[in-house]
Amino acid sequence: MKKERIIKELSELKKDENYRSLKLTDKKYINFSSNDYLGLNEDKELRGEFFQKFKDEDLLFSSSSSRLLSGSYPIIMKLEKKLEKIYNKKTLLFNSGYDANTCLIETLFSKTSLIISDRYNHSSIYSGIKASEAKLLRYRHLDYNHLEEILKKYSSEYDDILVVSETVYSMDGDRANIKKLVQLKSKYGFKLLIDEAHSFGVLGYGECYEADVLDLIDYVVIPLGKAGSSIGAYVLMDELSKEYIINKGRKFIYTTALPPINVAWNLFILEKMEKFNFRRKRLIELSIYMRNLLNEYKIETISSTNIISIVIGENQRVNKISENLREKGYLIYPIKEPTVPKGTARLRVSLTALHTKEMIQKFVKELNYEIDNVF
């Protein structure tokens, strides 16, 4: 791209109050923007237990190679074996959720495929679809009647159809109906990919596992950067797909494998997953508490989870409100287009098990004040 065009685009973003810049994460704030939903990442004791457990192992900070050369360390193979035991599916560890979604879709689907995707699916899913060159159709967010209309129209035309959904949607905090998707799959015979980025951990081993529908789902992507308190992603699939990705998946083959130290942490968290129940219960309790409080203040949200979005509207207003809240000690960022549709800029509150009712109460009071006073 020419320099003049880059400068022009950046100045347009500034004019639209949609310019992004990196900000220092400062501990002095009460953080309402963290995806460490269970609070595992902040837990020093847990970290201490991890280092104690692995103190005699030579855990390196780099794998210094791709998985297909010398990067498949015993700890990675152990983790994948453990995953296969839990989920009863073949698994592969990827370096990120972004890579996992993109690689899976671009490797297993092609020009002759049809991919039907929830309109609000994550950017990594869209990138994968674009790279696959498949035909893309989007159904209205969580509207399964619309999805079925598309299926009725196109099922006879394509013999390779993929439907993609997330479990919990990160920008609205609402949830997909996985059982409904599975029902539609049994009626129309498409392949189904579910992204569990915002449900892994919060719902134990994930929603598909908890709802006992794993056998009926072709691909499950589990990014670990949220409640997983780590980096990387698990992909659950059948044996043939795994074999094919190992041989053809560019984002799996041509990249350095995750460092053994991170992989050991992933395994450690996975093995303790069932022990985090009290954190899950607390998160549910706090989420209900905040939604009730918002309701009392007549502040609307469509969220049904611990991600609570409050649509403000224009960029300028949402910027000002979040700036004022930061000045009052709350770390909360505005979410704007293209992440969400134009004119629906919002504040995305991300609750974690480390928040308290008192923190939430004070925050909602301040939020209400700002909504009433910033125009």
**Alpha carbon distance 329, 244 (integer Å):** 50
Choosing from 67, 122, 138, 280, the residue that interacts with ligand PLP (CB under 6 A) is 122
Burial call 216-231: b when 16+ CB within 10 Å, e when fewer? bbbbbbbbbbbbbbbb
Give the whole-angstrom CA distance, residue 359 versus residue 220.
Answer: 35
- Cα separation, 233 vs 100, in Å, equals 7
Q: In this chain, which of 80, 195, 207, 218 binds ligand PLP, going by CB under 6 A?
A: 195
Amino acid at 153: K
Which stretch, 55-63, 91-99, 139-147, 311-319, contacts ligand PLP (CB under 6 A)? 91-99
124 binds ligand PLP (CB under 6 A): yes
Q: Which is nearer to ligand PLP, 258 or 321 (CB)?
A: 258
The answer to whether the beta carbons of residues 263 and 79 sit under 8 Å apart is yes
Distance CA 181, CA 184 (A): 5
* Shortest Å distance, C-beta 23 to ligand PLP: 18
Among 102, 107, 132, 170, binds ligand PLP (CB under 6 A): 170
Q: Least CB distance from residue 197 to ligand PLP, whole Å?
A: 3
State in angstroms the smallest separation of the CB of 153 from ligand PLP: 27
CA angle 7, 13, 18 (to 5 degrees): 150
- Kindly tell me which of 41 and 96 has the beta carbon lying closer to ligand PLP: 96
Cα–Cα nearest to 106, from 156, 147, 162, 168? 162
Contacting residue, 197, 261, 318, 351, with ligand PLP by CB under 6 A: 197
Compare residues 96 and 241 and give the one whose CB is closer to ligand PLP.
96
Q: Could you tell me the two tokens for 313?
A: 């509207």
Binding site residues, ligand PLP, CB under 6 A: 96-98, 101, 122, 124, 166, 170, 195, 197, 223, 225, 233
